[in-house]
Amino acid sequence: MHILVAADADYVINDVTSALGAPGTSFTVCREGREVARLVAERSYDLAVLDLQIGSMGGMAVTMSLRLDQSAGNAPYVPVLMLLDRQADVHLAKRSAADAWLLKPFDALALKRAVAAALAGPPADDPAEADTAADSAETAEEEAVSAG
């Protein structure tokens, strides 16, 4: 599995690579949101983990750009897991067509559950079904918070 991690904060990159690192998993780290679309067009990724802030371009704008490139046939589909700063950002993550999201701070188990939700496949054509896939990551994060 090859994962694109786009964040400009070292702690986010370290948390993601530490939690998801395993034999057979490799990472490409990008610290500038404007570079993500180029990277996705050049190489196949199994997952993109996008922080809400990535240099001069936010994760929501990056996700929307990826989805526009995909719909135009200029880039392949890549599942997107967005890392959010606050609960109010969930609405924007849904609107930008992220496959799953997770509120920071997060623990390794919540991140792995969110990754599983993102990898479940592209959102269905029915908007109600699309919300279900992404909501599972939110539910996993809420369960982790309430359990901890």
pLDDT of residue 148: 35
* Alpha-carbon gap, residue 38 to 20, rounded angstroms: 23
> Average pLDDT in the 38-62 region?
93
H helices within the chain, ranges in order?
A: 10-20, 36-42, 59-71, 90-95, 108-119, 127-147
Q: Which one-letter amino acid corresponds to residue 18?
A: S
pTM reported for the whole predicted model: 0.81
What is the CATH superfamily name and number for domain 2-147? Response regulator (3.40.50.2300)
Residue corresponding to tokens 């901890």:
148
Predicted confidence band of residue 118 (pLDDT cuts 50, 70, 90):
very high
Domain segments of the chain as ranges: 2-147
